[in-house]
Amino acid sequence: MNHPKPEEWVPYLYGESRPEVARELAAHLESCLQCREQLAGWRASVKRLDNWKLPRTGRADVMGVSVLRWAVATLVLLLAGFAVGRLTGPAVDTESLRSSIEPELRRQLTEELTSVVRAQVKEAAESTLHTAAREAEAIAAAYVRGLQAQRAEDRRAVETALARLETERLTDLATLKQELDTLAVNTDAGLRQTTAGLVELAHYRTVARGSEPE
Amino acid sequence: MNGLWISTLALLRGRSDEEAMSRVKAYDDHEEFAWLLKKWQEPIRRLCTRLTGDAGQGEDLKQETFLRLFRNRRQYERSAKFSTFLWRIALNLCRDEFRRQERQRQFLSPPLDAREAEGSEGAEAVWEAPGPDSNAVSAEEGALVRKALLELPEIYREVIVLRHYQDLKLGEIAEVLGIPEGTVNSRMADALTRLGRALKPKLRPSLARAAQPGKSPKSLLCYESSKT
Ligand SMILES: [Zn+2]
């Protein structure tokens, strides 16, 4: 018997073959046990696919995790940028800061982030920046760990970063905030998310500080 | 319901995905981008979760997809279907991710059993939590399907996921994958045959010998993926 090819059966299986083709195939099925069995086997497989269910929706917060990641990434880079800016000039060059940060925000590559921090730090004088560099790297490392692990780790990385920030001497939050505002205005959707994340972080920070005994 | 709400919204706005994406392309329109994101993030998350078999990764890849969509906005052609453009970005990211994992596995290559035991915890997040009227058996069955799919070569997994879980027509799959429809069909036939083989429960000979009437038959079953 001349059996239709497997690929001819597929549209039939999914009810997508043209009516005249479907009629022919149905007629063949009537008289061919072999093809009937093949089709039944496929139908059984298709049916079993239904058993792998996913939760209806993902995480409640739409881009929550990436917001956190970007926020931490921004903080890390800003800290490094801040340290450099403080030593090399009176004002931080927002434009160059932004242009160095923006490509990184567009990616999730953890190692790259660490190396960017390192590269930025290297640019500056070694001795004075040593401490800041270590701090920034520690935060970057925490961030990297957060990325590698799951959500809980993410949060922990943020907490580590925040805890470090608390004790950091770069506490000029007003300036930091201004920098971030400028960043946010100047850039696009991705960075809008970052701003949201930083507002969240700032809030988190306030809460964290509020709960600490002075 | 969400889908209905969104399509109603689309009608009210009187703007198609293609128009929205064109505005994103031409004016970096954030609102249009946010609208597209809202509408498509769930299908993309599900696609990425199905293709990687991991909910966390599905979420990450979804985010990466939209980042890339925005980054590549200038490459969008108004004449092209937006969904095709978006599916392709997501598929490519999933392929990259899968290849990265394969490389990692080759380097680290823990014994298969250890990997499965390790993977089972992560997999749990992927299953729908067993509700009062569903049972553990269906969760187990879901895990088997997931595992069988993950063991299929990428080209087979893709057609199955796109047709079965994303509900794309065979012609649309051909468009997204950039291959002839006939190829999609033959891949699908192969995929279903392989899947059927992988899901076929096999009686382990040693256990079969030891089988006693009255014992739970479940413990005697071992699902083996066929080596092809
Ligand atoms: Zn036949």
- Total count of domains within chain A: 2
Specify whether A154 is located in the same domain as A65.
yes
What 8-state DSSP symbol labels residue B202? Answer: E
Residue A112 has pLDDT above 70, yes or no: no
- How many residues in total does chain B contain? 228
Chain A residues with beta carbon closer than 8 angstroms to that of B56 = 150-151
Specify whether A37 is located in the same domain as A66.
no
pLDDT at residue number A96: 64
Specify whether A74 is located in the same domain as A140.
yes
A210 shares contact with chain B (CB less than 8 Å): no
Specify whether A135 is located in the same domain as A100.
yes
Verify whether the Cβ–Cβ distance B59 to A192 is below 8 Å: no
Chain B residues with beta carbon closer than 8 angstroms to that of A151 = 56
- Cα B102 from chain centroid? 17
Specify whether A84 is located in the same domain as A140.
yes
Whole-number Å distance, alpha carbon A35 to ligand 1 midpoint, is: 4
Evaluate whether residue A89 is within a structural domain.
yes
- Give which of B164, B151, B37 is closest to B90, Cα–Cα: B37
pLDDT at residue number B200: 84
Residue B166 has pLDDT above 70, yes or no: yes
Specify whether A144 is located in the same domain as A79.
yes
d(CA A159, CA A140): 12
pLDDT at residue number B29: 87
Evaluate whether residue A177 is within a structural domain.
no
Nearest 10 degrees: Cα torsion B99, B105, B106, B112:
-130
Whole-number Å distance, alpha carbon B191 to ligand 1 midpoint, is: 19
ipTM of the complex: 0.73
Specify whether A12 is located in the same domain as A87.
no
Report yes or no: A95 and A121 within 8 Å, Cβ to Cβ: no
Evaluate whether residue A182 is within a structural domain.
no
Query: Average model confidence (pLDDT) for chain B?
Result: 79
Evaluate whether residue A110 is within a structural domain.
yes
Q: Is the pTM of this model over 0.80?
A: no
Specify whether A64 is located in the same domain as A96.
yes
Specify whether A151 is located in the same domain as A81.
yes
A55 shares contact with chain B (CB less than 8 Å): yes
Please name the helix (run of DSSP H) or strand (run of DSSP E) that holds residue B201, with its range, or none. Answer: strand B201-203
Specify whether A12 is located in the same domain as A73.
no
- Give which of B172, B175, B198, B174 is closest to B184, Cα–Cα: B174
Verify whether the Cβ–Cβ distance A42 to B192 is below 8 Å: yes
Domains present along chain B, CATH in parentheses: 2-98 (1.10.1740.10), 135-225 (1.10.10.10)
| B41, B146, B192 member nearest A52 (Cβ) | B146
- SS3 for B223? strand
Verify whether the Cβ–Cβ distance B149 to A44 is below 8 Å: no
- pLDDT tens profile A154-186: 555 555 655 555 555 344 445 545 555 555 455
Verify whether the Cβ–Cβ distance B55 to A54 is below 8 Å: yes
Range of the domain at A18: 6-49
Evaluate whether residue A21 is within a structural domain.
yes
Evaluate whether residue A96 is within a structural domain.
yes
- pLDDT tens profile A58-94: 444 334 444 445 555 556 655 555 555 555 544 545 5
Specify whether A67 is located in the same domain as A134.
yes
Q: Is the Cα dihedral A177, A179, A182, A184 positive or negative?
A: negative
Evaluate whether residue A11 is within a structural domain.
yes
E strands of B2-117, at which residues?
A: none
pLDDT at residue number B49: 95
Token pair recorded at residue B192:
């279903």
